Amino acid sequence: MPIKVIADNCVACGNCADACPHDAITIEDIAVIDPVKCVECGNCIDECSSDALVKE
Protein backbone atom coordinates (compact mmCIF):
# COMPACT_ATOMS: atom_id res chain seq x y z
CA MET A 1 0.00 0.00 0.00
CA PRO A 2 1.66 3.25 -1.07
CA ILE A 3 1.91 6.14 1.33
CA LYS A 4 -0.03 9.21 0.27
CA VAL A 5 0.37 12.83 1.29
CA ILE A 6 -2.87 14.64 2.14
CA ALA A 7 -1.91 18.06 0.81
CA ASP A 8 -4.53 19.97 2.79
CA ASN A 9 -3.08 18.66 6.06
CA CYS A 10 0.64 18.93 5.26
CA VAL A 11 2.45 21.89 6.83
CA ALA A 12 5.86 20.96 5.32
CA CYS A 13 7.47 20.69 8.76
CA GLY A 14 10.00 18.06 7.65
CA ASN A 15 9.40 15.57 10.45
CA CYS A 16 8.55 12.87 7.93
CA ALA A 17 11.67 13.49 5.86
CA ASP A 18 13.84 13.34 8.99
CA ALA A 19 12.23 10.03 9.97
CA CYS A 20 12.64 8.37 6.57
CA PRO A 21 15.55 5.89 6.61
CA HIS A 22 15.63 5.74 2.80
CA ASP A 23 15.65 9.47 2.00
CA ALA A 24 12.45 9.01 0.03
CA ILE A 25 10.83 12.27 1.16
CA THR A 26 11.66 15.80 0.13
CA ILE A 27 9.96 18.93 1.37
CA GLU A 28 8.66 21.42 -1.17
CA ASP A 29 5.36 23.25 -0.61
CA ILE A 30 4.30 19.91 0.88
CA ALA A 31 6.04 16.60 1.50
CA VAL A 32 6.81 14.70 -1.70
CA ILE A 33 7.39 10.94 -1.54
CA ASP A 34 9.57 9.23 -4.14
CA PRO A 35 7.74 5.95 -4.86
CA VAL A 36 10.93 4.31 -6.10
CA LYS A 37 12.82 4.90 -2.83
CA CYS A 38 9.86 4.42 -0.47
CA VAL A 39 9.67 0.96 1.14
CA GLU A 40 6.40 1.80 2.94
CA CYS A 41 7.89 1.28 6.41
CA GLY A 42 5.51 3.83 7.97
CA ASN A 43 8.11 5.78 9.95
CA CYS A 44 6.93 8.97 8.29
CA ILE A 45 3.32 8.33 9.29
CA ASP A 46 4.35 7.83 12.92
CA GLU A 47 6.24 11.16 12.95
CA CYS A 48 3.64 13.28 11.15
CA SER A 49 2.03 15.64 13.65
CA SER A 50 -0.59 16.93 11.20
CA ASP A 51 -2.03 13.58 10.05
CA ALA A 52 -0.97 14.34 6.49
CA LEU A 53 0.34 10.86 5.65
CA VAL A 54 -1.72 7.71 5.18
CA LYS A 55 -1.26 4.26 3.69
CA GLU A 56 -3.65 3.74 0.81
What are 3-51's pLDDT values in tens digits?
A: 999 999 999 999 999 999 999 999 999 999 999 999 999 999 999 999 9
What whole-number distance in Å separates Cα of residue 55 and Cα of residue 13? 19
- Sketch out the chain's domains with CATH numbers: 3-55 (3.30.70.20)
47 C-beta neighbours (distance < 10 Å), count: 16
Q: Give the separation between CA 33 and CA 42, rounded to whole angstroms.
A: 12
Backbone angles phi, psi at 18, to 5 degrees: -65, -35
| pTM of the predicted protein model | 0.93
